[in-house]
Amino acid sequence: MKSIKLIAAAVAVSASTSSFADPMLIQEWSFINEAGFLSFEATEMPAGATNTPTFSGNSADGNPSILSTGGLPDTLCWGDAINWNQSCLGINSQVTNNTTQSWDANGNLVDINGGEAQGNVQTVEIDADYSDAFKQATALRHDNFPITGQFLDKVIIKDGIRLTAELPIGVQVDAPELNFLIDFWETPNNGLDADGSCPFGPAARTPGSVNASGCSDLFELVGIEGSEGGLNVIGGGADYIDFSVKFKVSGVDASLYHRDYELITRLSGLDVAFDGMGFATRENGVNILNAQFAVRAIDAPEPSTLAIFAASLLSLAGFSRRKAK
C-alpha cells in the first residue's frame, strides 16, 4: 500500500511538473550582420595571365568587427583592369537594425524603410509563418562583364550575425558563423557549342532571357561550414532560397526564458540554379543577390515522461527519508 501511494504521488508530481507555464520567448533583438571574403582560387587560364583577382575594402566598414577573423575584404575583382571593365563581387557590410539603405536590383542604394532605420528583428512564434518578419541583411553584388586574364574559380564568404536581446537586458548571442564555399562558373559568352547552348537557361543571346547578353555566369553553393546542426533548406522558388540554422541562448534562466531559436535566411533576386543550391548572374551588367533574415523560436528538447517519473520518485524517496528522521 505504501508503494502504491508513493507511485501515485510521483505521478502527481510528474503531472504538475509538466503543467508549469512555458518560458517566455525573447521577443526582440538588435543586430549586426557582417560578411567578407575569406579566400579565393583563380584558374590558370589563359596561359601566362598575370592579372590575378585582387581583394580590397573591409567588412567592418570602420566599426569593430564581429567576425572571429576580424574584418575581411569586402570586394574581389578580376580581369583586365586597364583595357576592359573588370568583373567584381562586393558585399555591403556591415548591416544593422539602424541601416536605412540597401542595393536595389540595379545596384543603386535605395531606402528600405522610407529612409528610417529598419528597426529590430521580432521573434516569430514556434512553427509560425516568418515571411513578414524579415530584416535586411548583407547583399552580394556581381558586376558581370566579359573578362580577359585569370578567371575566378572558387571563393569562400564568411558571414556572422550578432543578436542583442532587448529583454533580458545584456543578453548577446553570436549566431553560428558560416563559411560559404562557392564554385564560380565563368561561362563562354557565345555558348558552349555552335548552337549557342548555355549551362543554364536558353541559348546565348535569347532576347528577354537571363542569357540575353550571353551565357550567364553561375555560382554554386558546394559547401557550408560552421553550423553544428547542419544547414536546413526550408523553402525556395524560381528566384529565392530559404535556409535555417539553429542556435541556443546561454546566460538566461531556462525556467523564465525560452532558449532555442533558428536563424532563417532568404537569398533572393537572381534565377535559382543547381536544383536550388546556386544562382545565375546576367552578363554585361550588375546583379544583386539580396539577403534577409528572421528569427524564429523552435521547440526545446524535453525530458521523457520516464525521466520525469524517475526524478519524481527520487524526490519523494528523499522526502520520505527526511520525514522518517
pLDDT digit string, tens, across residues 276-321: 899 999 999 999 999 999 999 999 876 544 444 445 445 545 544 5
Asked if 43 and 29 touch (Cβ cutoff 8 Å), the reply is no
The Cα 109–Cα 107 span in angstroms is: 7
Q: What residues of the chain score a pLDDT lower than 70?
A: 1-20, 45-50, 83, 227-230, 302-325
The Cα 57–Cα 175 span in angstroms is: 24
The Cα 10–Cα 47 span in angstroms is: 78
The Cα 187–Cα 218 span in angstroms is: 8
Strands 140-144 and 271-273: unpaired
pLDDT digit string, tens, across residues 176-197: 999 999 999 999 999 999 999 9
Q: Which of 18, 1, 2, 8 is nearest to 323 (CA)?
A: 2
Give the three-class secondary structure for 46: coil
Asked if 126 and 297 touch (Cβ cutoff 8 Å), the reply is yes
∠ CA 290-240-238 to the nearest 5 degrees? 135
Burial class of residue 314 in the structure, from the number of CB atoms within 10 Å of its CB (0-12 exposed, 13-18 middle, 19+ buried)? exposed
Q: Which of 230, 218, 136, 118 is nearest to 178 (CA)?
A: 230
Identify the helix (H) or strand (E) that includes residue 172.
strand 172-174
Residue 222's pLDDT is what?
87
pLDDT digit string, tens, across residues 82-105: 767 889 999 999 999 999 999 999
Instruction: Fill in the amino acid letter for 68.
Output: S
